[in-house]
Chain A
Amino acid sequence: MSKKRRRRAPRDIGNRGVGAAPPAGANRDLRDSGAHRTIGAQQLSPLYRYAIILSRGSLFGQVLRRAGLAYDDETAALAASPLGMFFYNQRFLFFALGFLYIVALRVAAAFTGAPKTRTTVGLIFVFWLTAVVITLLAHKRFIRKVASHMEQTPSSDFPPVFYSYVVFDSVLVLGLVLLASWQFHVDLHYFAFLLLANTIVYCACAGAHVSSRRTFAAIPVLLLIFIAALLIVTKGMRNDLFVAFRDIGPVLGMAVVAVMAVAIVSAVRQREQKLMHSQVEMLGRLEVDLGNIPVKPEAKVTAKEQFERRLRVALKRLTTIDNPFGYRGVRIWFVDERDENAAYLLPGPFHGVKSINVDVSALQASPELLQSKGIRVVQNSRELPFLPAPISEDSQIAHESAAYVPVLANGRLAAVLTFYGLPEDPGTSHHQETFLHSVSAIIADALVQADVRHSSQATETIDALFHFESLSDVLPRAAEVFMKSTRAEACLIATRAANEDTKVRIVAASGFRRKTRDFEFSGDAVARVATENKLWVAFDDEIDADVRLRLESLHGRPVFSCLGVPFSASGPGSGLVLLVNSEGRAPWFSQNDVNLSRRLAHLVGRLIERFDRMESTEASLKLAQHREKDANEARLHAVSLATQIQNNLMVMTHQLQAPLSSMRASVIRLRGKIQHPDSLRYLEHIQGLVEDSFALCWGTVATFAKDAGTDTSIDLQDVDAMPELESLAARMQKTNARDDLKFEFYAEPDFPNIRIDRFVFTSVFYSLLHNAMKYADKNSRVEMVCGFEAGKAALKLKSLGEPIDPDEREDIFQMYKRGRVVTETGRHHAGVGLGLWVARQLLKEVEGTIDVEVSNRLSIFIVRCPIATSGGQA
């Protein structure tokens, strides 16, 4: 047959038969379920079913189990090799059927008169028995060998453990034939065909071990033994050697053809199985190589770069010289859609054939290419559709077979795989076709995953920026993320000062060669991205000349494409992210770049918003802290001032006591020396005023001193309250010029003396009387009643005048507190609000209390204090 290679037209495998299911998902379906569907739908032939039964498990074991014998023939290890199990069961069947044959032969011998029938049956039985016994004896050794082989080579390969049985069986059969012929003159020459059967079995074993040449070398030897055996046993019957050879010839021809056929079929099947096995293994590795690529945010290598590295390794593995796939070179071309009207093929990683099309830049993809979804295999790589002929240092490649495999992701052409350098005719192997579909599907899945990972990595990196403390640290990093995750050569982030502003100012940039700080765009295409809150994608001539000039002046390089993405922070169109691309392999922005940039820009908006809020919160916090500090300082100052005032008041009132005391003593002396009534009246009035002042001073200093923690002395004395009150009221009427007031005094019968410090008594009632004189209505009556309440003396002072609000009953006893009638009307403004507070504090010192009861304009001040123990009486 001529070896000349026949040129074929490129054929679209995808349009034929099983391969006509181009989408990636469909490819996977075909691979995963189609094959199973095919097998499941087939009607199994009885022969195939028999083969399955024989190769699934030990028949011997089954028979024993059915017979109720608990014997395990320990062939579990052999179950991994269907062919091995088949031969094991075949031997068992042979022995079983042999036994039935001997029984049948014995029955036939009983009904025939042929000579030496008993001898013949006996001989056969002896040899059968010998074979069975030796097989059983060698079983343990056989099992050990199987287990050892399976341990070393855990695969479904045929184990090389049957050769010794072939030799043993051959020797046994040969022995039977020769012994029967020479010793017993029994003609068993047809048993020599068992030798032939044994040889064929051996051939099947040898075919299964295609790698071993020695096993094949044994085949002629076995054939020679078979021929020799036939010649020897038939010599007696055919004295003529010619006749013997004449009879042997056809038998020999049949034997050679049978042996060769079995050996070759077995070898081919074994090779196919290995090929399939290694291809499935290769697909598994491809899936592992391209799947589960760990991605860390902020890693130096992007998920896409990582994917391309892995892809390079995977393609290298696919095209390794001793691979079962056969191709020597491969290149992937990524489909890149610049816009709706233009798509390009970008050369990706390659391997196998040195520098295939290494200088090729982006190739414009024709609509036919984008629509082409089937695998094509050509005999010559120059005939690959849509692609230029490969330029390679390997000149042989042009004359070898090549394959064009589209990679479809989500129904769109995502990439194209081109395989080169298959030295043989690719043929129409269904396996090859399925394998290519599978490779394409795995790469398509990996491409989709890589895109997702790439996008996640970028968004996670931006997310991580939310933990930073300052916007000035964050924005340059965000610009770098844009550059790293898109095709941009430079990136800038610009913001608007206010929503009305038509200008945008650069706040961060990366990749620009000139200084961008405080650079502004006003009213141009860049600014409009923010002001109109609109995406801007422009390529080459689509960029305004002046904008291009400005961008090129910043970038220091030609600018071929721009991508402006608006973001919203405090409001829509707060700013934009502008990406620029210069000349290069693909100087435009892909749809993936646009989609990813939109997501990232949204995050940048959130980032700016967050930091704005933080700044505003921090400013508010600082202001609040500042105000709190001021308030604290003011409070401390007020407290200090109040304390100072209190101290000053205390010192002043304390120091006033000395001259007042001296003045009082002087007046008293003077009153003893002067007789004139007018002078005496004046002196009495002066003494009254001095006493009032003294009471005022003493109460204040004593209470303040107590309030400041100084221990004051109390001299409890028995005081007859009523005359003291009368005297005090009379004096104060004069000193306060309230002659209009009428004082009435009433004491309950047996009202006793009270136990009180005299100074406290004077000071308390001075305050109460002074109050009454300030607020009592003109010409009203002031009643002073001495009675009892709950075992205590209760001295009541009743007056009609400016009403006290019932809600203020307690308030008026607090320091510096005055009733509303004073604070709101301005009436009776004299005083600072200390009198009633002083009265209550002093009474506490003597275990007394003071309260007020009010009813319209009537006020009743009730002073309770202990009764004198001496029993003195008013």
Chain B
Amino acid sequence: MSEKVLWLDNDTAYLMPFVEELEEQGFFVTVVETAAEAEEHLTAERYDYVIVDVMVPTKTAAEEAVYTREQTNRGYRTGVVLWRRLGKKLLEQNVGVLILTQRLDQSIRDELTKEGLPSQNFARKFQLSDPTALVDRLKSLRKSSARTS
């Protein structure tokens, strides 16, 4: 049975080379564009890997009711809120979590580190140049989380 990857990112078009590589490597990849959708998927079924871009904006008013503007810094940081709502549970379930930040998100990185997310779970979004390297990175995450648990 292939391992399942849930990828939260609003720039889905640019994910193509990475998604294809993952699928070629036998992963089943589900790409969602909003944190609400991601939460729905994660509640409904179990994923082996979750890739979360922290800077994903809200799209609907219904979503804003859950991911409030105050929590999400005017609707931008829904990825951060998602992590806060489900992160601990996912780590407990030995789900490989990769949080994608950008160069400008140093403060988010600092906050999440303080909240208990290990530094190996972070990656710079545009640093992912080689899709093969991403696959290796994901696999190493599960191995390290298995060691930790």
Convert A644-661 into 0s and 1s, putting 1 for each residue whose CB lies closer than 8 angstroms to a CB of B: 000000000010011111
Which of A77-85, A259-267, A698-706, A832-840 is near enough to bind chain B? A698-706
B131 at the A interface (CB under 8 A): yes
B107 touches A665 (CB 8 A): no
Segment touching A, from B10-18, B76-84, B136-144: B10-18
Whether A665 and B105, one on each chain, are in contact in the complex, defined by CB atoms closer than 8 angstroms, is no
Q: Tell me whether B126 and A694 are in contact (CB under 8 A).
A: yes
Chain-B contact segment, one of A325-333, A709-717, A768-776:
A709-717
Q: How many contacts between A and B, using CB within 8 angstroms?
A: 65
Question: What are the residues of chain A within 8 A of B14 when measuring CB–CB?
Answer: 658-659, 661-662
Which of B103, B105, B126, B130 contacts A668, CB < 8 Å? Answer: B130
The listed residue with most A CB atoms (<10 A of its CB), out of B13, B15, B17, B132, is B17
* Smallest Cβ-Cβ distance to A714: which chain B residue: B106
Residues of the B chain whose Cβ atoms lie less than 8 Å from the Cβ of A668? 17, 129-132
Taking CB as reference atom, which chain B residue is nearest A757?
Answer: B103
Q: A661-B126, A665-B130, A694-B126 are in contact. Are A712 and B104 (CB under 8 A)?
A: yes
B72 an interface residue at 8 Å Cβ cutoff? no
| B125: interface (CB < 8 Å) | yes
Give the Cβ gap from B114 to chain A, nearest Cβ, in Å.
15
CA separation between A672 and B129, bound complex, in Å? 14
B126 adjacent to A658 (CB under 8 Å): yes
Given contact pairs A669-B17, A698-B126, A713 touches B131 in the complex (Cβ within 8 A): no
Question: A694-B126, A698-B126 are known contacts. Are A665 and B106 too (CB-CB below 8 A)?
Answer: no
Give every chain A residue within 8 A of B21 (Cβ-Cβ).
665, 669
Selected from B11, B20, B103, the residue in CB contact (under 8 A) with A713 is B103
Is B58 in the interface zone, CB < 8 Å from A?
no
Q: Nearest chain B CB to A496's CB is how many angstroms away? A: 71
B42 within 8 A of partner (CB): no
Q: A666: CB under 8 A from chain B?
A: yes
Q: Are A665 and B104 in contact (CB under 8 A)?
A: no
Complex Cα spacing A713 to B18, Å? 24
Q: How far is the CB of A699 from chain B (nearest CB, A)?
A: 11
- Determine if B34 is an interface residue (Cβ-Cβ < 8 Å): no
Write the nearest CB–CB distance from B18 to chain A, whole angstroms. 6
Which label, helix, strand, loop or mixed, suits the secondary structure of the B interface?
helix
Contact (Cβ within 8 A) B20 A712: no
Q: Which residue of B lies closest to A712 (CB)?
A: B103
Distance of A755 from chain B, by nearest CB (Å) = 18
Q: In the bound complex, do residue B17 and residue A702 qualify as a contact, i.e. CB atoms below 8 Å apart?
A: no
Q: How distant is the Cα of A694 from the Cα of B128 in the complex, in angstroms? A: 12
Contacting A665 at CB < 8 Å: which of B13, B102, B109, B129?
B129
The answer to whether the Cβ of A437 comes within 8 Å of any Cβ in the partner chain is: no
Interface residue count on the B side (C-beta < 8 Å): 26
B129 and A713 contacting across the interface, CB-CB below 8 Å: no
Contact (Cβ within 8 A) B129 A664: yes
Specify which chain A residues have a CB less than 8 angstroms from the CB of B16 in the assembled complex. Answer: 662, 666
Give the distance in Å from the alpha carbon of A665 to the alpha carbon of B14 in the complex. 9
Q: Is B94 at the interface (CB under 8 A from chain A)?
A: no
* B103–A665 CB distance below 8 A: no
Contacts of A657 in B (CB 8 A): 126
A622 to chain B, nearest CB (A): 45
The answer to whether residues A665 and B128 also contact, given A701-B103, A705-B104, A712-B106 and a CB cut-off of 8 A, is yes
A216 at the interface (CB under 8 A from B): no
Cα A759 to Cα B129 with chains together (Å): 13
Chain A contacts of B104 at CB under 8 A? 654, 701-702, 705, 710-713
User: Contact partner of B125 among A661, A669, A712, CB < 8 A?
Assistant: A661
Closest B-chain residue to A702, C-beta based? B103
Distance from B94 Cβ to chain A, minimum over Cβ atoms (Å): 27
Q: Which residues does chain B contribute within 8 Å of A669, judged by CB atoms? A: 17, 20-21, 131
Q: How far is the CB of B9 from chain A (nearest CB, A)?
A: 10
A705 touches B129 (CB 8 A): no
Cα–Cα distance between A753 and B101 once the two chains are bound (Å): 27
- The 8 Å CB contact of B106, one of A654, A666, A713, A759, is A713
Complex contact A658–B103 (CB within 8 A): no
Complex Cα distance A751/B15, Å? 40
Q: Which residues of B contact A701 (CB under 8 A)?
A: 103-104
Contact B131 A759 (CB under 8 A): no
| Shortest Cβ gap from B103 to chain A (Å) | 5
CA distance A713 to B127 in the complex (A): 13
State the Cβ distance, B19 to closest chain A Cβ, in Å. Answer: 10
Quote the shortest CB–CB distance from B41 to chain A (angstroms).
23
Against B, the Cβ 8 Å flags (1 = close, 0 = not) of A708-728 are 001111010000000000000
Cα of A760 to Cα of B149 in the assembled complex, Å: 36
Q: Name B87-114 residues within 8 Å CB distance of A.
A: 101-107, 109
CB-defined contacts of B20 to chain A, threshold 8 Å: 669
Q: List 18 A-B contacts (CB under 8 A).
A: A654-B102, A654-B104, A658-B11, A658-B14, A658-B125, A658-B126, A661-B125, A664-B129, A665-B129, A666-B16, A668-B17, A668-B130, A698-B126, A712-B104, A713-B101, A713-B104, A759-B103, A759-B127
- The 8 closest A-B CB pairs, nearest first, are A662-B14, A713-B106, A665-B17, A666-B17, A661-B126, A657-B126, A711-B106, A658-B14
Known interface pairs A658-B14, A665-B130, A713-B124; 4 further A-B residue pairs with C-beta atoms within 8 A, sorted by A's residue number: A661-B129, A668-B129, A669-B131, A713-B105
